Structure formats: C-alpha cells, structure tokens
Amino acid sequence: MKLNELTAHQAYIGLRKKEFSSTEITKACLDQIKKVDKKIGAFVTVTDDLALEQAKIADEKIAQGEELKPLEGIPCAIKDNILIEGERCTCSSKILENYRATYNAGVIKKLKEQGAVFLGKTNMDEFAMGSSTEHSAFKKTKNPHDLTRVPGGSSGGSAAAVASNMCIYALGADTGSSVRQPAAFCGVVGMKPTYGRVSRYGLVAMASSLDQIGPITKDMEDTALVLREISGPDAKDSTCVQYSVPDYTEAIPWGIENIRVGVIKEYFEEGVDKEVSDLVKKAIKELKRLGAKISEVSLPHTMYALPCYYIIMPAEVSANLARYDGIRYGYSKVKAKNLLDVYLSSRAKGLGDEVRRRIMLGTFALSTGYYEAYYDKAQRVRTKIKREYDDIFRDFDVLIGPTAPTPAFKLGERIKDPLTMYMSDVLTVSANISGMPAISLPCGFVKRENKKLPVGLQIMGDHFKEEMVIRVASSYELRERAE
C-alpha cells in the first residue's frame, strides 16, 4: 500500500513505529495531487510549503521521542470556506479570489494543536451553494470513479480528494447535504455532526442555523477519530454547546445487538433509483443479521423538508452575503460612478448565477408582505419536522435510508435545471432542518456505462448521539469488509 493510501489510524501507527516519516506521507500526497488533480480538479489552493514545514515539525517531535498525538503529522485537506490564517480562502468565488484569512477557524485551531498537516484548500460550489461542485468560479471538480460525472457538492473537492488518495482525510461543511451527498457519490464516509457539536467559528457563513463542519474520511475509524478531535466547546461560537465530547472511537467495537433501527418509508418512494434502493435494502438486511431490530417508520412531514429548506436557507444567505459589497474586502469595481454602482457592479461581477439566484429568493422571502407567508411559515414547519423526529427517537436508536436518490449524475446534466439539482438534497436536508447527526457510508456500487458508481447508506441519530450513529455504521462497515 502506498503511503497516500493509508487511513489516519494506519498512518498514526506507522509514524509511532517510525516505519516512515510525516514528510514521506506528505510528499506522497503532494505527488498524488500533482499526478491526478489536473484531471479531477479537487484543489483550489495547494499549500506545499506549509505542509512540508508542518511535516518537518512533526518529524522532529518523533525523533526527540515525544508522545505522538492521534492526528499529528498526518496530511489533510480543508474545504475552501474554512479559514486557515495567512492562506487564501476563496469560497470558490471571484469576489474572494485574493482574500487571505486573518485568523484560524475553531476547527483549524484544534487541528493545529494536534499537529495536523494542511495540504491545501479544496474546491466547492461557490459559497457552498450547489450539489455538484459545478458552481465553482474556478473549475469543475470531477468524480474519481468516472470523470464524466460530478463528485456531488458542495464539498465535492474534499470528497474527491479523499477518494483519489490525494489526502488522508478532509474537512467539509454540510448545510443541506454538502458532506454526505459528495461522500455517497465518491464512495467515502462523510458525517454531519449535531448542530452545535463542532464550532462554526471561522466557517464562512452560508446559512447560519444549518451549517455544520464535518469529516470526510476513508473509513469509520477515521471518522470517529477526526470527529473527536474537532468537536467541543468554543467560546467564540455562541451556537457551540458546552457538552463534553465522548471518545467516539470507543463506539466502534460495540456491536448492534437489539439496537432499534427505523427504516424511513418515505425514503424509498417515487424518485429514488431502484438499484440504489435495492442496495440500501440489502444493507438493512445485513444490519438485521447483525442483531438490530428493524421496523419501518413513516415520517409524513419529510415531504415538506426540502421546500422548507429552500426558503430558510436562501433567506439566511441573503442576510449573510450582504457583507460582500465591494467596500470592506474582496473584489471591488474601482471605476464606479457612485456608491450604489460599487455595490451593484462588484456583486454582479463577483458573484455567480446560483449565488445571485439564492440571494434574490431569500430577499423576496424576507420582504414586507411575504415574510409571514414564506419565512415565518417555513420556520413553523421546521419546528413540526423537528418534533416529529424527536417523537420517533423515543422508539428508535437510529433511522436509515439512502443518502441520495441516484448515483452521481453527469457533468452538465442538471446545471441548467435548478429544481432538478435541488432534488439531489431531498433525502438529506431533514437532518439539517432538525439539527440531528447523520452519516453516509458506502454500501455498494451500481453500473452505468461500464463504470462502477458508489451508493451511500445514510444513518441518522438523535441529537448529540453521534456515538450511536458511529456504532451502527461501523458495525455494518466491519461486516462488509470481513466478507
């Protein structure tokens, strides 16, 4: 196995035994980036010098016999809406093309304390608005399993980087599906933690009540490890809870005897690809063989989650992106007639079509005479959806279904049809609307045009019960590997 193909826990063991150095792993990842990223387009910025400097520091600590931290010296990639001090943070938008972060995000501070190695910033849909990573202002990321297809979005760059072994693990951010759906399309593991479990400080805001940073990894053990290290209180994020963080790695060997699993009826109805549905049902049978108690459940308000999301999210986008005005930072049209012309011209040239579309939708939903009809009503529906999940988790430990209704679709197939593109999130937005944790892990492949495309199994849990989600997901993963 090549060094860049290792998982984080394998890399940790090898570094501790001095079988190889952090510099060697880092160079292996950087070499892989040079070799394959011209075709895939996963990175917006590659931070070679920073990565090698951080790897050297880790190697010096190892040489001196200091105790190695779990993620020390291990190369990772960071979605380009998470701030690393001194490095570019573009959000894949022209308006921030030359912006350099002046401080570290909360998760970056934690990873730096761990001694992590940052390889670079990954491509995304502009300001995280999209489900295919085709809305980036700089490039279109491609799926490593089939270069004619999308990697999912908006964290498509992070998922593609992990899937093609350009990094050991990555961070993404999930507002409606943006960690889980690309993980499903690229055949890796992606987890959205409970809202408030991981600090959002230094995450460039899209929709503040929905955004959550999460890990994208090669297996469940890495997911548990990375989530443990990035979770926890942060005084600089008022939405980050003060709860202690469990050791998620301890959830992996537990088993799932008598765990109550609810199969969401609505997640297998019209619009879900039959082959996707069949693979997920096969995975559910495997969980039953492992001792889980399987029952079908109905969540009738699920059908309202997507329209609810596409009112609340654009409304928050409208407010959050008002700061990009061509005055304080970012792209600015210098030759302007007056202040209004600076605003209009800078935003028109600096922001892409999808971003402007969502700003307009959100501004309309918040406008006088429509606020009560749209935004206020959507928030009431959101409460009903959350209560429905709260009720169902009295009887079940986890809920299960497909991550996405289809495997990865073709590049360009949905780019001119926003409504069809938005339907990619139909099975994932409920977790963001309710704030609960959810994970996507591979459960097989479907064949399209002689290419094998991954399918994702989604497991959702009650608030702050990430260890239960990890327990069920890792039990399935370990059984699949054993076979």
Q: Which residue stretches of 41-155 are H helix?
A: 48-63, 106-114
* CA separation for the pair 263, 373 (Å, rounded): 33
Say if residues 192 and 60 touch (Cβ distance below 8 Å).
no
* CA separation for the pair 125, 142 (Å, rounded): 12
Backbone angles phi, psi at 134, to 5 degrees: -95, -10
Residue 335, judged by CB atoms within 10 A of its CB (0-12, 13-18, 19+), counts as: exposed
Among candidates 439, 436, 432, 428, which has minimal Cα distance to 474?
A: 439
* Four-residue CA torsion sign, 467, 235, 433, 377: positive
Can you list the positions of beta strands (E) in 234-321? 260-264, 293-297
Q: Are strands 398-402 and 451-461 parallel, antiparallel or unpaired?
A: antiparallel
Residue 254, judged by CB atoms within 10 A of its CB (0-12, 13-18, 19+), counts as: middle
Among candidates 370, 361, 347, which has minimal Cα distance to 313?
A: 361
Q: Which residues are catalytic?
A: 79, 154, 178
Among candidates 27, 28, 118, which has minimal Cα distance to 71?
A: 118
User: Which residues are CB-neighbours of 462 under 8 A, at least 6 positions away?
Assistant: 389, 390, 393, 397, 436, 468
Backbone angles phi, psi at 256, to 5 degrees: -130, 30
Tokens coding 325: 């005005």
- Count H helices and E strands in the chain, helices first: 15, 11
